[in-house]
Amino acid sequence: MPLGLYVSVPFCRSKCTYCNFASGVNSQSIFDRYIDRLCCDLQSADHFASGIGGTFDRTIDSIYFGGGTPTILEISQFERLFVTISQNFQVAADAEITIECAPGTLDDSRLDVLQRCGVNRISLGVQSFVDREAASVARLHNRTTVLDDIRRLRAAGISNINVDLIAGLPHQTSASWEFSVSETLATQVPHVSVYMLEVDADSRLGRELIAGGTKYHAHFVPDDDLIADLYEMACDRLVAADILQYEISNFVRPGFKSRQNLKYWTRQPYLGFGVDAHSMLLSASAPAEAVRFSAPDSLDQYLAGRDARITPVSRASALEESFFLGLRLNQGVDLVEIESQYGSDDVRRFSQVIAHFTHAGLLSRESNVLRLTRRGRLLSNEVFQGFISGSNESQAAEVAL
């Protein structure tokens, strides 16, 4: 099975208030050290994988540069990365190579180099076409920047473009959201991601919202019900424009599904490199088992060479994952297929949960295929909880290692 590669670039020019990733604003001087470490990891991936009982195919059909803001790197740094990747892996001729890009950060020379390196897909972190909303969360671009970027990308021959939108930004209203969605449709990009503002203690805006304060425009964040409305409105508008939903947050014209992201939901192997990068490899010895691991989530620890955190995925865990990841996709989970992988006895243990959520209208079942309903998507965490065992079990597994 071909492999996906993820490369994390945890640097930004400014940190967005909603950001809960391990990214930050750092001086250029640290970039080279970071690339050194990345290259080192890329070279030793093979050795590392076998050391923890994982296995992978050297052929890669997808590379994803995520951030942070990957386009912040220098041309020479990109070149080093691509050279190292191609020296250590077999990049398929038709590989999907995506780079996340903050609007306005991709100048012509960088674009040129990236294209020569094989980048053929761009994901634009637009979030909103309303300038005031973008500015309120410390995005550095405006609507014009975005439209300009899309025009330049197309002129350069890149049409596989994704636009990210966030429902739930400060100052957002139904009307302003409608505007952002319409503008997105008007660009005719083939892929749209609709995220919803996540409130947790890992972002400044999240902390402020939890505290009930007014910093970062927190008091202008729409309430949960409105965010749900906005999400459903976007679903309706996109689908009506033949940009079909294939995952809770992802919408696409036929033929443009993100290969990289599908790997996550369908449990295909991927290797992540860099700060807080995550990997999953299938077990070398036991079918249906796997191993997940992640690099340190702070830049300092990563540069200091701290060990990865390793979580073996037992057969039982893998089955749970098949449900709570697979159900995110509109194609749903094929019960017959899962039974053939895990055995019918184990799969049937979920019959009651399936019946419960089907009865509650959050799941629907058509012959062998189980899917989230429209309402079920918005309440998917409630459904997924039914498919996971308690935390004790997975903690015990981590300790045992």
Q: What gap in Å lies between CA 95 and CA 104, rounded to an integer?
A: 26
Q: Residue 151 CB, nearest distance to another protein (Å)?
A: 26
Q: Residue 224 CB, nearest distance to another protein (Å)?
A: 6
Q: What gap in Å lies between CA 102 and CA 361, rounded to an integer?
A: 39
Nearer to another protein, 145 or 203 (CB): 203
Is 193:121 a contact under the CB 8 Å cutoff? no
DSSP 306: P
Is 43:88 a contact under the CB 8 Å cutoff? yes
CA 249 from centre of chain: 10
Nearer to another protein, 350 or 384 (CB): 384
DSSP 388: S
Q: Residue 271 CB, nearest distance to another protein (Å)?
A: 10
Nearer to another protein, 141 or 377 (CB): 377
Site residues (vs another protein, CB under 8 A): 6, 8, 64, 66, 193-196, 198, 224-225, 227-228, 231, 248-249, 261, 263-264, 270, 272, 276-280, 292, 294, 311, 321, 324-325, 360, 362, 377-382, 384-385, 388, 390-391, 394
Nearer to another protein, 176 or 193 (CB): 193
Q: Residue 247 CB, nearest distance to another protein (Å)?
A: 9
Phi, psi dihedral angles at 17 (to 5 degrees): -70, -25
Nearer to another protein, 131 or 331 (CB): 331
Q: Residue 316 CB, nearest distance to another protein (Å)?
A: 13
Q: Residue 112 CB, nearest distance to another protein (Å)?
A: 26
Closest by Cα among 327, 191, 172 to 253: 191
Is 334:367 a contact under the CB 8 Å cutoff? no
Q: What is the CA radius of gyration of the chain?
A: 21
Nearer to another protein, 270 or 302 (CB): 270
The phi-psi region of residue 341 (left if phi > 0; otherwise alpha if psi is between -120 and 50; otherwise beta) is alpha
